[in-house]
Structure 1
Amino acid sequence: MKRIVFLLLLAAALLVSYRSRAQTTGQTIKGLVFDRQSQAPLPGVNLIVVGLSPQKGATSDGEGHVRITDVTPGRYDLKASGVGYKELLLPNVLVTAGKQVVLEIGLEEYAGALQEVVVRGTRKNATANEMTTVSGRSFSMEEASRYAGGRADPARLVANFAGVSAPNDYRNDIIVRGNSPTGVLWRIEGLNVPSPNHFATLSATGAPVTLLNTNVLRSSDFFTSAFPAEYGNATAGVFDVGLRNGTTDKPEHTLQFGLFTGLEAVSEGPLRKGGNASYLVAYRYSFTGLAKELGIPIGSTAIPHYQDVSFKINSGTTRVGRFTLFGVGGLSDIAIKHDEIDSSDVFADPRRDTYSRSKLGFVGLRHTLRLGKDAYWNTVLGTSYSGNASRQDTLQEPATGVRVREVNSRETRYSFHTVVNAKLNARFTARAGLQGEFYQLNLLLRDREYTPDWNYVWDSKRNTQLWSAYLQARYSLTGRLTLNAGVRTQHLTLNQHTSLEPRLGLQYQINERSSLSAAYGYHSQMQPLNVYFYRGLLPDGQYDESNQQLDFTTSQHWVLGYDLLPFENWRIKLEAYYQRLSQVPVTRQRSSFSLLNEGASYQQTEQGFLINHGTGTNRGVELTVEKFFSRGFYGLLTGSVYQSTYQGSDQIRRSTAFDGRFVYNLLVGKEFKIGRLKQNALTVDYKVTHAGGRPYTPVDLAASQRAGKEVLLGDSDAFSQRLPDFFRMDIKVGVTFNSKQKKRTHAIYYDLQNVTNNQNVFARQYNKVTRQVNTAYQIGFIPNFVYKLQF
């Protein structure tokens, strides 16, 4: 049946293309050109489409707006140039018949003598945050949708970048340079938010399905270490996501169907005629139920249901500044019943029913005010809510009763972030900001094992606040040498702990094709809220809450990088790093426990009596070789060799749960122009990932058989064995049809994931039925189909 559906949709798209007239309809490329340091609009900047004859281009007006009309659908390189500014090349801009192209074009002013060094355009994938020195990269909405095996998930996209590992088909946790995924900060439109995923739990960092809809994202930044001072409360990395504005001159719409992303509808357009105010709203509903009916495996017979909505309303420029209202929210639930599972289920127990539902959402209001020509003031106010409720009923013989475990957690967060940015001159830009986060936590976790009496692990209604302030600056010492420096402080009111965090980066432009960078960053992060409020049971029946006195975990990053553009449309990047973590929570008594391994399993940490005496180190070398999209071809090769270790309170150095040792990714894509006017495209994308197996602690079989549940071996065997290496190959084939008569685009993709059906090991765990240690495998071969209509 799935083949019939695919062939019918393909035939329909072909019919639409065939019945179109021979006269192709051109599309519009428009955008805002601005100074990258001050965000001030730039008039008089020329934007041209490279390679067209006759030449097609336009010049930005007094408010920085630029508009190129009647562009034939296809992929193009754009070039922006203005007097006194470095030339900017925007490669691989996709133009379709169904949607206008809207760009944000930031130019950097020359800081030295023009003849001193002329860089060949701003680096592709350079971060939007201009105060980045090393270990940062941007990605676009188009990239998140293009790569094979990505499931339209930004978190899975960044797993292709050097230094990032995510060898898990079931969850999208981001492992950065051997760090726990809890060390990653998520920021959306300047607002710090919980990890944006469906089926998320308190303090979790990953889940099976992302809450972010790639159809509403703009180019966003991802950092893997030594990030600028405006980012804090993170020790591993930063995911700085932006939502794009809607179109401002006419309504546009998108409809999309995917076997895993579900049914989607996006609408955008102007709020009023003749202005620059706009709206953008998107809704998505899961389609996994249909996938089951079509016989497509999804890894479990339990069917997850979810839905989400995203929106952004932009006021346009007013006399009192620009206001933006944005938000994302989602609902999800799943039921795994003991009598509806089979032997391939990973998360199911034939003696247990599991019910889980989650709610996650955030809304924010952003205000930007110009302070003269070269400064601005930006403020974001927002709130987020994360709630999860689950129940596990373990069924036994009638005589022994039932074991029940219930979790009901709710976190409400109120946040604000205000920052003033000033460009003092072409060499010097400074930025100062203040952040506040107010946490309200309602945490309940209780269980009872074959008795009517409940044991309360958590039962807390608590509040706390995290305050932060930062100052950072960018100064061009010469036309070749640039300094990025900053300092940050943060204070937790729960226990009155304070940190002071210096940041420093230097970049030297060796010549027009190469540069050398070095950076140092001191970072600190509060512990997960559930760890602070864990209650340890004392012999007298009282509870110990000393975890509330835990200090921040700290991290120091040292990074050295080399960047080379050997040929046109090619880039080679090499980075070496060393990271030292300290003040890591470990147990008071000698053991192998360390909170650096948090996130390795799906269980929340239930450990009290912790102290900040643990340490950890991460070191490695990363290589990126990238062929930017040109002449219909692109390629990306990334490789990381690393070591991740830690010490618990027993002072024995071990591999962390995330010490995979290596990860390699190869992505290659080719686009063929088809159709009589070459306005349509056939695309083929290929991806292969090879990652080292992660360490794990073996099961104590005899103890597990006696206890009737999984029991791991003791401290002497902690993380002493490794899972087999992870290998996966994905192939994606797509066809895009641009209507010749109407502004309409049809796109069809068939994404074949794990085409070799490689049996990657998920875990080796105790099976209560067989009373043996069984091997659970990850998802095998799985096809995904996507149809997209833009009009």
Structure 2
Amino acid sequence: MRSIFTSVLLLAVFCASAQTQTIKGVVTDKTSEKPLAGVTVQAAGLTTITDSLGRYTLKNVPLGRQQLAYSYAGYQPALIPEVLVTSGKEVILDLGLEQKYITLDVTVKASPKKGAPLNEFAAGSTTSFNMEDVTRFAGGRNDPSKLVSNYAGVVADNDGRNDIVVRGNSPTGVLWRINGIASPNPNHFSTLGTTGGAVSALNTNALKTSDFLTGAFAPEYGNALAAVFDIELRGGNSSRHEETFQLNLFSGLEATVEGPLNHKDNGAAYLASYRYSFAEIAQSLGINIGTQAVPHYQDWVFHITTGKGRLGRFSFFGMGGLSRIDLIGSKLDSTDFYSQTDQDAYDKSNFSFFGIRHTLDLGQRAYIKTVLSYAHTLDLYDQYQYPDPVPPYKDRWWEVHSGDTTNTFRFSSFVNEKYNSRFSYRAGVSGDVLGLKMLVLDKTGLPPAAPFDTVNSYRGTTFLGQAFAEVRYRLSEDLTFTGGLHGQWYSLNSNTAIEPRVSWAYRLPARQTLTLSYGLHSQLQPTPVYFQTIDIQTGARDPGNRSLGFTRAHHVILGYERRLGADWRVKAEAYYQYLFDVPVEKSSSGFSLLNAGADFTFPPLVGLVNKGSGTNKGVELTLEKFMSHGYYLLLTTSLFDSRYKGSDGVSRNTAFDYKTVVNLLGGREWPLGKHGNAFTVDARLSTVGGRYTTPVNVAQSRAKGFEVLDTLAYDSERLSGYFRLDTKFGIRLNSGHRHFSQTFYLDLQNVTNHKNIFVEQYNHATGNLSSVYQIGFFPDILYRIQL
């Protein structure tokens, strides 16, 4: 591996060139999304003006890091520093400019903020990220979930999955949206009701700048308690055909193609990408990826955009993934993340997602945007048990079958109008028609000849309807109000929710801003919970879970931000969440559904009622230097307390109460020659407090033949903390003769090989507890060619 890296480094000597590249894009009004003609765009001493469609093109831009400046009369200027320009791919930068606040003859100027949300109705607890952010940080595995785990208030201490914990909330509280509409879980090896998986199916080469929200969401976001990924897929290059080929040890081999659909220069373009996993390569090199079994997965994505015509602008998009893994007990050991040595298990999960988005102008100030989508998911799991002891591996019997299939049709439509520079509004409706087929059979702990218990069985259709209205009003040059209402209705049990949301932003001198946000938020329970009909431990039958209502939460957030020059910012937020109507048991116990969601399955309990509660409170600090002058820095610290009450009224730590999280990231670029070649070094240090767990009752587990938790001591034990150091070395090379660039990264994850405990679980084969550890030292490689 060292020889490969050295060879790539030596190529830099022969790649210095005078090659240039093109930067282009579209400039629009940020609120109305209408094109702005006559905007001045400058970079590297070059200047151009946007045309009647808001388009600009800067040709012959030198390679390397460049700064772009946008200026237009009556609008706030924009400055985008450190834009990476390579020889292999044209740079496409679309930008929304915000109109200045104007009262009488006074014009107030404000500088745009890097990292600010794209959605102007989103106030505090929101940040934006782009493709370069996802690929830059060490230890990120080209996964947006891993990227945002570096942000304040976000925790991801599971190396085997990419579930994220936001401010003490369960990972099931995360909403994924793609191109403006809710999407299925975009991860490989996911299961119904979860929002994460073992490997991301989102291809970073297809991502556009997107928003990530961690609390008090704008009124347009519904059915979420913890966070929102508002993902945008980028359009292809509308003037030049380009290709990207990439090999990554974790995400696999991929190819991306893009280009114009016609020769009319009207913005019509296509983008398509396909990836196939090579995790078996890592295993053949003796690298621990969390299991001795070989995972197989592949995914694809496409995005086709049409030119703007009399009927508006259309885009067609889709993505999907296939994944399977066979966990054969004879090939595993007690340290395996996902299975036991006396079991064989076969897991398969597929998803596909297709959508059509249409944008139609309504005069000069308004537009209507409509999205229709169809999603299909399939999750199959079969488990076979061997008699003890093993080996020998003989006479296994079928013990568990789980099969879930969904076919979901979604629609979303909203109207957006910018009345003037002070007032704008947005209002819309959406609906999810969920066709669901579920069957879960289980006889864990029963004799081989015993009949299966039907844990879940449902075939039907449910509907979730949502509506919202929101306004943004600038009361003065320094004070902005954003607020509105969101409503939901669920057809399964006719539960409803009305949710007010408000936010205030006040600008202080010296580039300081104060924000205060409040929101009432509601979320459905994970789908499998509604259709649980039998408790496999007690045998109790009760279909009462179908009457469960929304879990609700009040969010209050106070934020402060100060910009220290163009490159630095300090940000602090204090928050309080009060959760109520949480499902708990009817009888007195310490169970709460707030603790569910960090695993592939949900608690097999029936007859739950919405009478539990919980609180999340904390403070967060961010010190960030954006990429400039060849380096960046990010320090985030989170101190928080996450507690809940079950039906017994006792206050306990939740399973996601890590107490403290500290992330320190940094990186440096050294130019190699004068024309965009560079050597890069990145590092990431993460430390997370230990999580609370419910101990295993070993005696009862031995008696019943499967793991039984000590329900009299919910979350009474705390595991040791999590520590990980990642380093990343890279080379970026530009060809001197044609449009061709290469990137090579060597990402050394957990370089200290620190043993982070994942869980202590009951081992069927030994009859004792076994400690399962996270992934140790893992060298990841990325090689990318763009042409």
Matched, 1:379 2:397: no
1:76 CA drift (Å): 1.8
* Alpha-carbon separation, structure 1, partners of 2:149 and 2:538: 48
- Deviations along 1:595-643, whole A, 9 cap, x unmatched? 1111133322311101100101000000110001111010001111000
Whether the 8 Å contact between 1:48 and 1:57 is mirrored in structure 2 is yes
Which of 125, 132, 155 is matched with 1:165 structurally? 155
- The residue aligned with 1:103 is 93
Matched, 1:184 2:180: no
Which of 602, 617, 637 is matched with 1:639 structurally? 637
- The residue aligned with 1:118 is 109
- The residue aligned with 1:31 is 25
The one-letter code sitting in structure 1 at the alignment partner of 2:690 is: G
1:515 CA drift (Å): 0.8
1:537 CA drift (Å): 6.8
The one-letter code sitting in structure 2 at the alignment partner of 1:698 is: P
1:19 CA drift (Å): 5.0
Matched, 1:587 2:577: no
- The residue aligned with 1:77 is 67
Whether the 8 Å contact between 2:329 and 2:339 is mirrored in structure 1 is yes
* Higher deviation after alignment, 356-365 or 403-412: 403-412
- The residue aligned with 1:737 is 733
Matched, 1:510 2:508: yes
* Alpha-carbon separation, structure 2, partners of 1:539 and 1:583: 25
- The residue aligned with 1:626 is 624
Q: Compared with structure 1, are the counterparts of its residues 396 and 511 closer, same or farther at alpha carbon in structure 2 (3 Å cutoff)?
A: same
1:296 CA drift (Å): 2.8
Q: What residue ranges of structure 1 are gaps of 5+ in the alignment?
A: none
Q: In the TM superposition, what are the counterparts of 1:241-320 in structure 2 within 5 Å?
A: 241-275=231-265, 276-320=267-311
* Alpha-carbon separation, structure 2, partners of 1:467 and 1:201: 23
Q: In the TM superposition, what are the counterparts of 1:749-764 in structure 2 within 5 Å?
A: 749-764=745-760
- The residue aligned with 2:685 is 688
- Deviations along 1:671-705, whole A, 9 cap, x unmatched? 11112x24201110010001111100112222223
Q: In the TM superposition, what are the counterparts of 1:604-753 in structure 2 within 5 Å?
A: 604-675=602-673, 677-715=674-712, 717-753=713-749
Q: Compared with structure 1, are the counterparts of its residues 539 and 233 closer, same or farther at alpha carbon in structure 2 (3 Å cutoff)?
A: closer
The one-letter code sitting in structure 1 at the alignment partner of 2:380 is: A
The list of structure 1 runs, each at least 4 consecutive aligned residues, that deviate by more than 4 angstroms after superposition, is 12-15, 17-20, 113-117, 397-401, 537-543
Matched, 1:459 2:457: yes
SS of match in other structure, 1:203: coil
Q: Compared with structure 1, are the counterparts of its residues 263 and 525 closer, same or farther at alpha carbon in structure 2 (3 Å cutoff)?
A: same
1:478 CA drift (Å): 0.5
SS of match in other structure, 1:565: strand
Whether the 8 Å contact between 2:535 and 2:605 is mirrored in structure 1 is no
* Higher deviation after alignment, 400-409 or 759-768: 400-409
- The residue aligned with 1:193 is 183
SS of match in other structure, 2:205: helix
* Alpha-carbon separation, structure 1, partners of 2:747 and 2:281: 17
- The residue aligned with 2:419 is 424
- Deviations along 1:650-678, whole A, 9 cap, x unmatched? 11110110000111111100011112x24
Q: In the TM superposition, what are the counterparts of 1:48-67 in structure 2 within 5 Å?
A: 48-49=42-43, 52=44, 55-67=45-57
Q: In the TM superposition, what are the counterparts of 1:472-491 in structure 2 within 5 Å?
A: 472-491=470-489
- Deviations along 1:221-264, whole A, 9 cap, x unmatched? 00000111000011111110000000011100000001111000
- The residue aligned with 2:222 is 232
- Deviations along 1:727-769, whole A, 9 cap, x unmatched? 1010000000011111110110000000111110101122233
Q: Compared with structure 1, are the counterparts of its residues 90 and 446 closer, same or farther at alpha carbon in structure 2 (3 Å cutoff)?
A: same
Whether the 8 Å contact between 1:423 and 1:429 is mirrored in structure 2 is yes
Aligned-pair Cα RMSD in Å: 1.8
- Deviations along 1:252-286, whole A, 9 cap, x unmatched? 00000011110000000000013210000000000
SS of match in other structure, 1:416: strand
1:387 CA drift (Å): 1.0
Whether the 8 Å contact between 1:536 and 1:609 is mirrored in structure 2 is no
- Deviations along 1:128-184, whole A, 9 cap, x unmatched? 100111000000011001110000000110000011011110110011100001111
SS of match in other structure, 1:317: coil
Q: Compared with structure 1, are the counterparts of its residues 533 and 96 closer, same or farther at alpha carbon in structure 2 (3 Å cutoff)?
A: same
* Alpha-carbon separation, structure 1, partners of 2:530 and 2:145: 27
What TM-score comes out, normalization by structure 1 length?
A: 0.96
Which of 314, 328, 331 is matched with 2:319 structurally? 328
What TM-score comes out, normalization by structure 2 length?
A: 0.96
* Alpha-carbon separation, structure 1, partners of 2:47 and 2:698: 71
Q: Compared with structure 1, are the counterparts of its residues 290 and 600 closer, same or farther at alpha carbon in structure 2 (3 Å cutoff)?
A: closer
Which of 485, 489, 492 is matched with 2:490 structurally? 492
- The residue aligned with 1:154 is 144
* Alpha-carbon separation, structure 2, partners of 1:101 and 1:602: 40
Whether the 8 Å contact between 2:317 and 2:356 is mirrored in structure 1 is yes
* Alpha-carbon separation, structure 2, partners of 1:403 and 1:707: 17
1:714 CA drift (Å): 2.6
1:453 CA drift (Å): 1.5
- The residue aligned with 1:523 is 521
Whether the 8 Å contact between 2:100 and 2:108 is mirrored in structure 1 is no
Q: In the TM superposition, what are the counterparts of 1:121-136 in structure 2 within 5 Å?
A: 121-136=111-126
1:23 CA drift (Å): 4.5
1:540 CA drift (Å): 14
* Alpha-carbon separation, structure 1, partners of 2:513 and 2:349: 47
The one-letter code sitting in structure 2 at the alignment partner of 1:38 is: S
Whether the 8 Å contact between 1:117 and 1:512 is mirrored in structure 2 is no
Which of 81, 86, 90 is matched with 1:91 structurally? 81
Q: Compared with structure 1, are the counterparts of its residues 43 and 512 closer, same or farther at alpha carbon in structure 2 (3 Å cutoff)?
A: farther
* Alpha-carbon separation, structure 2, partners of 1:136 and 1:93: 22
* Alpha-carbon separation, structure 2, partners of 1:294 and 1:647: 47
- Deviations along 1:18-64, whole A, 9 cap, x unmatched? 555x6421100101000001001001111112xx4xx2221111110
Q: Compared with structure 1, are the counterparts of its residues 540 and 702 closer, same or farther at alpha carbon in structure 2 (3 Å cutoff)?
A: closer
* Alpha-carbon separation, structure 1, partners of 2:353 and 2:13: 45
1:115 CA drift (Å): 5.3
Whether the 8 Å contact between 2:334 and 2:772 is mirrored in structure 1 is no
* Alpha-carbon separation, structure 1, partners of 2:563 and 2:8: 44
* Higher deviation after alignment, 542-551 or 530-539: 530-539
- The residue aligned with 1:578 is 576
Q: Compared with structure 1, are the counterparts of its residues 443 and 140 closer, same or farther at alpha carbon in structure 2 (3 Å cutoff)?
A: same
* Alpha-carbon separation, structure 2, partners of 1:612 and 1:111: 46
Whether the 8 Å contact between 1:110 and 1:479 is mirrored in structure 2 is no
The one-letter code sitting in structure 2 at the alignment partner of 1:711 is: V
SS of match in other structure, 1:229: coil
Q: What residue ranges of structure 2 are gaps of 5+ in the alignment?
A: none
- Deviations along 1:352-378, whole A, 9 cap, x unmatched? 001111101110000001111111110
1:316 CA drift (Å): 1.7
* Higher deviation after alignment, 559-568 or 259-268: 559-568
- The residue aligned with 2:397 is 402
Whether the 8 Å contact between 1:624 and 1:636 is mirrored in structure 2 is yes
SS of match in other structure, 1:348: coil
* Identity %, equivalent residues: 44
Whether the 8 Å contact between 1:600 and 1:658 is mirrored in structure 2 is no
Q: Compared with structure 1, are the counterparts of its residues 269 and 469 closer, same or farther at alpha carbon in structure 2 (3 Å cutoff)?
A: same
Whether the 8 Å contact between 1:395 and 1:403 is mirrored in structure 2 is no
* Alpha-carbon separation, structure 2, partners of 1:598 and 1:711: 16
